Amino acid sequence: MDALVGIGAPGKNVLDFARSATSLEQAIRIAVADVESAIPTAVLYSTEVPDNGHEVDEVLMARLAIMESLMTELTAWIDAN
């Protein structure tokens, strides 16, 4: 997994991903799969998508919710270890 790791709000960690993909949705799917593979208990706390002028559809929002869940798990795992 390649991610830029940073510090978010107190008690939160940040992972910043850059992915080559044919769409934003595909890039998110790849990042989610990478996190799930590396840290199965990771939970997503929040996400930010660069504003490129395009509307975000319901499918993308569902993927962002999955990422939020993964970051929450990740934060819990890091706190426990």
pLDDT higher than threshold 80 for residue 12: no
Describe the crossing of helices 58-80 and 24-38 by its angle, rounded to 10 degrees. Answer: 20
Query: 13-33 pLDDT, tens per residue?
Result: 677 777 777 877 788 788 888
> Tens digit of pLDDT for each residue in 28-62?
788 888 888 887 887 776 666 656 545 555 556 66
Read off the tokens for 53. 């002028």
Query: What pLDDT score was predicted for residue 9?
Result: 67
Share of the chain above pLDDT 70, in %: 60
Strand, coil or helix: what is 60? helix
